[in-house]
Structure 1
Amino acid sequence: MNNDKTTEQSLIILGMAAEKGRWLFVLVGLLINVCLGSIYAFSVFRKPLEGLWDITSNQSGYPFMIFLAVFAIVMPLAGNLIAQWGPRKTTMLGGMLVGMGWITASFSPDIFILTLLYGVIGGAGVGIVYGCPIAVVAKWFPQKSGLAIGLTVMGFGISALITAPLMKALIGNPDIGIMNTFLYSGIAFGVIITLLAQLLSFPPAEWMPAGSETTATAVRPALSLTRQEMLNTSSFYALWATYTIGCLAGLMAIGIASPVGTEIARLDATTAALAVSLFAVFNGLGRPIFGAITDKLGPKHTAILSFTLIVAASLLMFFFGQENAMLYVVAFCLLWMCLGGWLALAPTSTGIFFGKQYYAQNYGIVYTAYGAGAILGTLISGNIKDITGSYLGAFPIVTGLALLGMIIAAIGLNPVKRQ
């Protein structure tokens, strides 16, 4: 009898420790994402590389585009690795590849080898690691996981604010230069990710947070669908389509943020650059904000709210944005925040609709929507001015996409019904 009581007390103590300690996984995930998100700082390398190898601005963007493409392609494959190996070993593998990508890039003789080494190896590494902290946090927060996931992925959004100035300083140091910056960054990222990986683990199979017994029936996913079962639902395709549109619309706006600031809002180049830094903060904050909103309102209403804000910001810019610096700042803060929001809304919705048991595999497939949106958004935004004669021509397109997303969300973002 005493042994039973001792065991019960031990379980209670362990449960309380796990309840408090699970926020550590959010912090670890955020720090890992700061390392992974350094891809968003790649722009600081472009001008120096153009001068080093006498290449065009288009060519200097090859490593960035290939990196994002490989990242999106590898994500679905990494879901199976997480299920088989666990988050620690999978993160270690990805972290080593991230480090190798940056380190080997430092020995590149031209932009094409750099694209291959940095874009393919580094992009694959990020694709393997990215889903690990999200999957861990999703399982440690089986209910109301939006805020926790949002804080975890916030690191990716704010990374450039931290890494870009550091890398720029290293590149500008005559004793270090461009290629050694790749080398030192790779060593740092490889070591940091590998060390942080040791802290990642899933909760015990039967663990549930305190108090979940009273609320589980209301908020726990009714189903735990495998990847194939998920692909047979209409909710998956609605989520994939709205995620793609949310990313496409947001990235189109992001792609023209700086030139719109100088050419439409009439800001000087320095002020426009400061404004973009502010937008990046909102991009990072959008993740925990929309994650928390998803916890409160659910995927459908949160998606509709996001698209409503995108429509409002786009229409305000189109009709009243000419030479209006304040409106420009407000509108683009909203657009960047909504883009960041989808990076929390989509993974949270994946858990709500399809359950947490096969979360890593399922979100790997859902995440391909980001890759599609990133590629389409980047390509379209680059041609907007040529087609319309003005960057203002982007905003009706963004508005139309957001309205389409609103319709898809209203009709299709519904909980999966048990057959």
Structure 2
Amino acid sequence: MNARLSPGIKTLIGTVLAQFALGSVYTWSLFNAPLAAQLDEPVSQVAFTFGIMTLALALASSVSGHLQARFGVRRVTIGAGILLGASLALTSVVSQLWLLYLTAGLLIGLADGTGYLMTLSNCVRFFPKNKGLASACAIGAYGLGSLGFKYINLYFLAAGGAALSFQMWAVLACVMVVIGGALMHDAPQQKAATNASEADAPADYTLSQCFKTPQFWLLATVFVTICMSGLYVIGVAKDVGELYVHLDAATAAEAVAIIALANLGGRLVLGVLSDRMARSKVVGLALLVCAAGVGMLRFMPLDQYSFYLSVACVAFSFGGAITVFPTLMSDYFGMNHLSQNYGFMYLGFGVGSFMGSVIAALFGGFVAAFSVMLVMITISLCIAFTIHSPKHNQEKIKHHWQLESSTS
């Protein structure tokens, strides 16, 4: 049966399998308390591991397209899976905090980032007419992986502690990513437009060409805003519930499951919607939902259910916008350099993940962070609803096509 599947379908199946395993890193908060006790370190110091992981993930994502161009998606994905498994296995035996930062922070982040964005971009390029749906399937699997592995890791934590959980996580994640990588094919180069009827097709911008367009930097502003709002609220939701809304620990912790489901819902709903309307407007819609959620957190007296609704809005927005952004980038800057172009844009994921925490630390906690978020969301809304694709000189592009044709 496998032989009868097209390369695109096999790649989609492999991408979904790998993305599910790669999304497991978002269960990290389950390990903060056990590792703090094991290493005799404050929970805050152990929790910093996730910040290192997120930054390493973003950095690896920014160069994964170059690795694919040199070695191919299959080899790089399999390598990422092996590194992920080895890093998790090493984490099971760490005895010092700096080793935890190295194995769980740096190495797991590098492995996860290398596989995540490259496999997503490669998969989307197989389905130029259904980019939103393909992106929703892949990134939806990434979000679902955090939910699925939550229960897997909780089971092994209860059965044998952190060491056993990391070991089983290592085996499962490595096998899934390696099998997924083995199914993948490199997406073919998209055919350049060659006649007037194709004049509206986006030019294929290289990364250096993207840097010269204002649209790239405007989209980067929107992306950082989305990541800052989503990652900060997701990361401190339980603390907000306890310290800001004054819920008990168990009630506040339920926000974690609600966030996971809302995140997945955003990825599926807005990913599919992005094939039916302008993707910049879909991002604008996501920002409106985010503004509603952050506005509730900032200005409303919250109870249990309004708190759940507010964090669900932010998670829905974050998941949906992250899903739409790769295809939006391909609309504006072409498909053939998507891995490199979106890879650089994805550095905003790492920047955004730190901005919320830094703002909260410098200016007085949750309220200050929520206030700055609302200002940035307002700016990003204006960008999302007014931005247009880059203007390009059709004669120069046609001349480029002619040169390419004459040399090929």
TM-score, normalising length: structure 1: 0.85
> Residue 134 of structure 1: which of 114, 120, 145 is its match?
120
Indicate conservation of the 8 Å contact 2:51/2:353, yes or no: no
The CA deviation at 1:207 is 8.4
Indicate conservation of the 8 Å contact 2:284/2:381, yes or no: yes
1:181 aligns with 2:162: no
1:169 aligns with 2:149: no
> Residue 151 of structure 1: which of 114, 134, 137 is its match?
137
Output one character per residue of 1:271-295: Cα deviation in whole Å (capped at 9) or x when no partner: 3222320121111221122222322
Indicate conservation of the 8 Å contact 1:101/1:119, yes or no: no
Indicate conservation of the 8 Å contact 1:287/1:343, yes or no: yes
Indicate conservation of the 8 Å contact 1:139/1:202, yes or no: no
User: Residue 273 of structure 1 corresponds to which residue in structure 2?
Assistant: 253
1:43 aligns with 2:18: no
> Residue 41 of structure 2: which of 36, 44, 55 is its match?
55
Aligned length: 388
| 1:297 alignment partner, SS class | coil
In structure 1, the gaps of 5 or more residues are 1-15, 209-215
Matches for 1:211-222 after TM superposition, within 5 Å = 217=198, 221-222=201-202
Output one character per residue of 1:161-198: Cα deviation in whole Å (capped at 9) or x when no partner: 2112221221222xx33223222322222222111111
The CA deviation at 1:116 is 0.7
User: Residue 228 of structure 1 corresponds to which residue in structure 2?
Assistant: 208
Aligned CA RMSD, in angstroms, stands at 2.6
1:282 aligns with 2:262: yes
The CA deviation at 1:129 is 0.8
Output one character per residue of 1:198-247: Cα deviation in whole Å (capped at 9) or x when no partner: 11113455789xxxxxxx949x7421111211222111111111000111
1:418 aligns with 2:392: yes
> Residue 238 of structure 1: which of 205, 218, 223 is its match?
218
User: Residue 399 of structure 1 corresponds to which residue in structure 2?
Assistant: 374
In the alignment, the residues of structure 2 paired with residue 201 and residue 222 of structure 1 have an alpha-carbon distance, to the nearest angstrom, of 24
In the alignment, the residues of structure 1 paired with residue 60 and residue 183 of structure 2 have an alpha-carbon distance, to the nearest angstrom, of 23
Q: How much identity, in percent, do the aligned residues show?
A: 24
The CA deviation at 1:351 is 0.9
Cα 1:198–1:260 shift into 2, 3 Å:
same
Q: Which moved more, 1:196-205 or 1:91-100?
A: 196-205
Output one character per residue of 1:100-136: Cα deviation in whole Å (capped at 9) or x when no partner: 1111222322121121122222211112111232122
In structure 2, the gaps of 5 or more residues are 394-408
User: Residue 342 of structure 2 corresponds to which residue in structure 1?
Assistant: 363
Output one character per residue of 1:1-30: Cα deviation in whole Å (capped at 9) or x when no partner: xxxxxxxxxxxxxxx964xx7445334322
Report the residue type matching 1:241 in the other structure: T
| 1:256 alignment partner, SS class | helix
TM-score, normalising length: structure 2: 0.87
Indicate conservation of the 8 Å contact 1:36/1:126, yes or no: yes
In the alignment, the residues of structure 1 paired with residue 350 and residue 78 of structure 2 have an alpha-carbon distance, to the nearest angstrom, of 23
Indicate conservation of the 8 Å contact 1:247/1:342, yes or no: no
| 1:291 alignment partner, SS class | helix
1:387 aligns with 2:361: no
Matches for 1:78-89 after TM superposition, within 5 Å = 78-89=64-75
